[in-house]
Amino acid sequence: MCRTVDLHQAVLAKNDENALALRGYLGDRGTVAVNLLSSPGSGKTALLEQLLTRAVAGGTPAAAVTADLATENDATRLARSGAPVRQILTDGLCHLEAGMLRRKLEGWLPEGTRLLFVENVGNLVCPASYDLGETLRVALASVTEGEDKPVKYPTAFGLAQLVVITKTDIADAVGFDREAFLRGVRQVNPGVPVLETSARTGVGVDALLAHVLRCAAGEETHVPVLAREHERYLRSHENGHEHGHEHPPADGHEHGDGHTHGDEHRPAGGHDHTGRHEHVDGREHVHASTRPGVRGQTR
Amino acid sequence: MHELSIAVAVVEQVEEAVRDQGRAVESLTLRIGELAGVVPEALDFSFGLAAEGTALAGARLLIETVEARGRCEGCGREAPTGMPPVLWCAGCGAPLTLLGGRELEIVRVTLADGRPEVRDEEASHVPHR
């Protein structure tokens, strides 16, 4: 005779607990984490170098952690910005997990760091499943990768709170179909802001940093359709509910203060900075100020 | 190939949950949504590796796949999202509310009757599915 045990445990519960703890740790220090996801060679490091340099020059305390399977090349490169930088070597693992990041940060993260950029392993598949305690998740794609990246990797682009197109200085040379790319983004992540950048010419980098700072200040956030259920889970615990190893059933754990996500629409293109900034369909863009008790945690 | 990390997480959680039962695990059931970003075949392969030398060695992995569905809050239309998903309403263009499709859950575990050590011997001759 067999015995059946009903478990109903989320497989990633341990990671989510670590992410939750990390979010609390960073929140207490006034640090906002930005998780950068993209395929290898999309230009994450070059863009990050620019972002860090500008943040430092502009007086925003910023730091970065960069993850690779091997070599400290990226940390060396990023350190030229003058910002504190650490390399995580994953020893073959294809993604970062919240526990790995937590261990790296504790005892290192400089006091007063406002922005912590986390350059994930170059991979559009595996990192998408892991919440790192970030406030802002950014998916990047270069113009050389093909317009269908968002629909080929719907989890990575679908869970992003911001999509960044890189290497736009060569968009014409490689025949990048911008409209097709935006259609794909809209399909998997309605309403997500899209920014266009070039680390080589510097176009769009200031706009990107400004966007990140607005998110850090809780002035701007986007909750992807794919993330809403997870967000409800994480927020329910921020409100002091008991936390175990289990995720609540999808329909059984309502948010305490009764607010809903994605209930405010705003028109497209409402920001007055340089660089292109589009809300793909103008919907689902929620200002954090409408969300009592929440400071920028959006996953 | 994050399925190996996921398989290790599954094995650890199940071992923890059944530790005081003193029985081997005969089978376990996972529920995986089609938008969870997990490939069932890769997970099945990884599970065989992750379970080696644990109470789950030789256990059968059963996977229930959940179709992704969405509902339009604007017009109430409810439909599968497809894959890759279309997360806005084909009818009125409003973003959808996802009703399911991102599940990644250990649903239940079936424990073998009798002494685990007998089971372990058998397990070395039995493929994991």
The pLDDT of residue B93: 87
- For residue A7, the SS3 value is strand
Average pLDDT estimate for B42-55:
95
Burial of B42 (0-12, 13-18, 19+ CB in 10 A): middle
Average pLDDT estimate for B36-47:
93
Residues of chain A found within 8 Å of residue B100, distances taken between Cβ atoms: 250
Residue of B nearest to A156 (CA): B37
Residue A166 has pLDDT above 50, yes or no: yes
Minimal CA separation from A233 to chain B, in Å: 13
State pLDDT tens for residues A278-299.
565 543 333 333 222 223 333 3
The pLDDT of residue A60: 98
Average pLDDT estimate for A69-80:
94
% of chain B exceeding 90 in pLDDT: 74
Residues B47 and A288: their CA atoms lie apart, in Å, by 41
State pLDDT tens for residues A233-269.
554 444 444 433 344 333 333 333 333 333 333 333 3
**Phi, psi torsion values for A8, nearest 5 degrees:** 50, 55
The pLDDT of residue A2: 72
Residue of B nearest to A251 (CA): B99
Confidence of residue A231 (pLDDT cuts 50, 70, 90): low
Higher-confidence position of A6 and B1: A6
A57-61, A86-90, A280-284, B29-33: least confidently modelled range: A280-284
- Compare CB distances from A11 to B104, B110, B113 and report the shortest one's residue: B104
Minimal CA separation from B116 to chain A, in Å: 13
- A24 Cβ partners below 8 Å, 6+ apart? none
Residues of chain B found within 8 Å of residue A94, distances taken between Cβ atoms: 1-2
Q: What is the ipTM of this complex?
A: 0.82
Q: Which residues pair with B31 in a beta bridge?
A: B64, B105
Q: Taking the CA of residue B45 as centre, how many other CA atoms within 13 Å lie in the half-sphere pointing to its CB?
A: 8
The pTM score is 0.81
Instruction: For chain A, list the strands marked E by DSSP.
Output: 3-10, 32-37, 62-68, 85-89, 115-119, 136-142, 162-166, 193-196, 221-222, 277-279, 285-286
Strand ordering across the sheet containing B78-80: B78-80, B69-72, B96-100
| Mean confidence (pLDDT) of chain A | 82
Residues A83 and A54: their CA atoms lie apart, in Å, by 10
Minimal CA separation from B39 to chain A, in Å: 11
**Contact criterion met (CB < 8 Å) for A7 and B98:** no
Residues A82 and A51: their CA atoms lie apart, in Å, by 11
Residues of chain A found within 8 Å of residue B36, distances taken between Cβ atoms: 129, 155
Residues A295 and A133: their CA atoms lie apart, in Å, by 13
Average pLDDT estimate for B73-78:
90
The pLDDT of residue A262: 35
Candidates B26, B88, B103: best to mutate against A (most CBs of A within 10 A) is B88
Residues A103 and A108: their CA atoms lie apart, in Å, by 9
**Contact criterion met (CB < 8 Å) for A155 and B35:** yes
% of chain B exceeding 70 in pLDDT: 87
